[in-house]
Chain A
Amino acid sequence: MSRTDIGPPDFREMLPPVIKENYGKWKYHEIVKPGVLKHVSESGAELYSVRVGSPRLVSIDFIREICDLADEFCDGYLRFTSRHNVEFLVSKKENVEPLLDALKEKGLPVGGTGNSLSNMIHTQGWIHCHTPATDASGIVKAVMDDLYEHFVNMDLPAKLRISLACCLNMCGAVHCSDIAILGIHRTPPRIDHERLPKVCEIPTVIASCPTAAIKPDPKRKSVKVNEERCMYCGNCYTMCPAMEIIDAENDGIAILVGGKVSNARTAPAFSRLAIPYLPNNPPRWPEVTEAVRNIVEVWAANAKKGERVGEWIQRIGWENFFKLTGIPFTDKHIDDFIFSVPTFRTTTNFKW
């Protein structure tokens, strides 16, 4: 009989000796080169971390391969970052270069430190979920290929965090990223009146709609949708499979920019709409990679040293953001959902 509620392994069993000895005693760190951090303890001990990009969706062979490397160069210890990078924890300085060579041989990119693009946070997409408006892993691969140079070099004005979620449920919580790529539906749910009363509780379906667009349809023992009120959030579909929201022809991608989570300098902030819609074009989503690259390049060319995307936009103003990037401003950029009022301008101070 298996034991339940044992919880995760104690992290203390997972720490290399150099960490156990210097736990809480690290004094400072420096970035030796892109992807290589050096932490120095008050005792003088040193720990090197080598940060490596991973596709996140990996086979156990990949995990075994990085275990082999960790056994060879790190006495069997490694960790993962909150952005899905692998970090090899190297306690012997002389092992750093051989590890870097071995990683190069395997084609694994070393980077993601300092003023660079880190790995993309993302969701499941077509690989595993039933509500996506787009894929996840595929777009991430296409965007990371395209911006690869910014992962392995630290040549950006500041940190760059790009994230992707394949629908508004936002499993990756992408809404506070420098650039957020978001799968969106654009048509109201299609109701399967035959199936609905059998598989869904009608009051729950009605209650699920944030705009009260769903009303009972007593004649059919089903529901009806006031399509003018629907903003395609898909919440009714989450509650009820008979409210199909996926629409291959109209689903696509929105791009939001200027969010951050760190408290450094400016308060954490939401990303804001830059591009309301781009089409799904697998396998490489050229419109999306191009749009993202454009924003990155305009920011990199215009921001001051140390300015995150949102901080740069705050300084130059959204008027100039749209002008510099050449992204058209449309009625879609003006909020018509709740909390819209504080986003309307109430001063004569603005830029041309």
Chain B
Amino acid sequence: MKEHKTPLLDELEKGPWPSFVKEMKRAAEKNESAKDLLGQLELSYQDKKGHWKHGGIVGVRGYGGGVIGRYSDCPEQFPNVAEFHTIRVNQPSGWYYNTKALRKICDIWEKRGSGLTNFHGSTGDIILLGTKTDELQPTFDELSDAGFDLGGSGSDLRTPSTCAGPARCEYACFDNLDLCHDLTMTYQDEIHRPMWPYKFKIKISGCPNDCVASIARADLSIIGTWRDSLRIDQEEVKKYAASGMDIKGEVCEPCPTKALEFDEDAGELRLKAEDCVRCMHCINRMPKALRPGVERGATILIGGKATILQSAFLSWVIVPFMKMEPPYQELKDLLERIWEWWDENGKTRERIGELIYRKGMGNFLRAVGLPAVPQMVYQPRANPYIFWQPDEVKKK
């Protein structure tokens, strides 16, 4: 087995941040694919370009997604990464683990793959980075015995992911961990068998801080919120003031709607509840004194995606408030109506946001049966080019 010299990569072992090159070298001590991967990456650093071939379809029995085929474009030089496929493993909600479960994954991957992983991929899965075609089925079988399953890839429902939630965060406005698990289990078929125009992502955040960036990265963004007034503990407000916090400057002034006023004499924080847009700023600043209201649920938004093709979109509000309680039937019914409309109307590789943009939000809302409400827009349209429906005008 050839040792590769890696003078360029060695530079990246220096410095205080933990080094991925050290990690690759650790894996390379035990595994020949990891060794050749190091060599091929060094070549990329010399050539300033990647050395992977385009495409290649591989998989495991019964599934259409979850594995990404990967072949080197210089297999003579690096025979042990001639095949170097990646497996996406569905993570538990909120990325909570016990060490027993993690060790099982390590043992399987030590035996079956390169020993290199991403904890985690940007969609949420555990990414097992690199194995040979023959190892795919055995790896899957062993993962499945250990209680793990594959995530999504291709034109399917991608692995849903969610934030820390009520397990660890006092801001969570509903049980987003349970919702994520429930949706993942309900839509196993949609995750594992690509049957759609393109990918579809669901990301769930427990509150408007949106720690999983659902508004930017999910076709369907679910963000926890409340309908009534946020709760204030005036005793704790006084303690913050006594500790020297500039409540007026740090909490009230940045409030986007100026809904908060600090009465310095009384040491009290006053809220104009009807002005509050539940942005979380004041709660983030004074977590002991302020908390979300009690009538809680989530806002549902649609269409978020990165640039390609029709520019990037942030998700748009379609349901300002929905209660989030098991079995989440209202949400599931809505999801299924959305998928049906997208399936019927979407072109290949057209994300739901792009389809809504092409067909018009009005058509989308009518098709999935959602009423138009002012919360959906920043402001009404400026142009008068209105599409009237046949039943709204008199036919000649």
Contact = CB atoms under 8 A, between A and B. Distances in A.
Given A29-B287, A59-B115, A138-B45, A130 B26 contact: no
A220 interface: no
B250 A305 contact: yes
Interface string B249-284: 010001110000000000000000000001111001
A39 to B, nearest CB: 6
B189 interface: yes
Interface stretch (A94-102, A263-271, A318-326): A263-271
A8 B181 contact: yes
B309 A148 contact: no
Contacts of A352: none
Given A19-B167, A283-B11, A338-B310, A121 B122 contact: yes
A126 interface: yes
A268 B168 contact: no
Contacts of A249: 48
Interface residues of A, number: 112
Contact of A339 (B188, B287, B311, B348): B311
B103 A6 contact: no
Contact of B213 (A6, A176, A207): A176
A55 B19 contact: yes
B366 interface: no
Given A130-B50, A284-B11, A47 B168 contact: yes
B211 to A, nearest CB: 6
Interface string A250-274: 0100000000011111101010000
B358 interface: no
A238 B149 CA distance: 27
A127 B47 CA distance: 13
Contact of B17 (A148, A268, A283): A148
Contacts of B161: 82
B23 A24 contact: no
B337 interface: no
A110 to B, nearest CB: 12
A294 interface: no
Interface string B64-95: 00000010000000000000101000111111
B92 A8 contact: yes
A5 interface: yes
Interface string B334-368: 00000000000001110000000000000000000
Given A11-B167, A130-B55, 6 more contacts: A59-B117, A77-B99, A127-B37, A135-B45, A233-B307, A305-B250
Interface of A: 2-11, 13-15, 19, 23-24, 26-30, 39, 47, 49, 53-64, 67, 70-71, 76-82, 84, 86, 89, 107-109, 121-123, 125-132, 135, 137-138, 141-142, 144-145, 148, 151, 165, 168-176, 204, 207-208, 210, 233, 235, 237, 239, 241, 246, 248-249, 251, 261-266, 268, 270, 280, 282-284, 305-306, 337-339
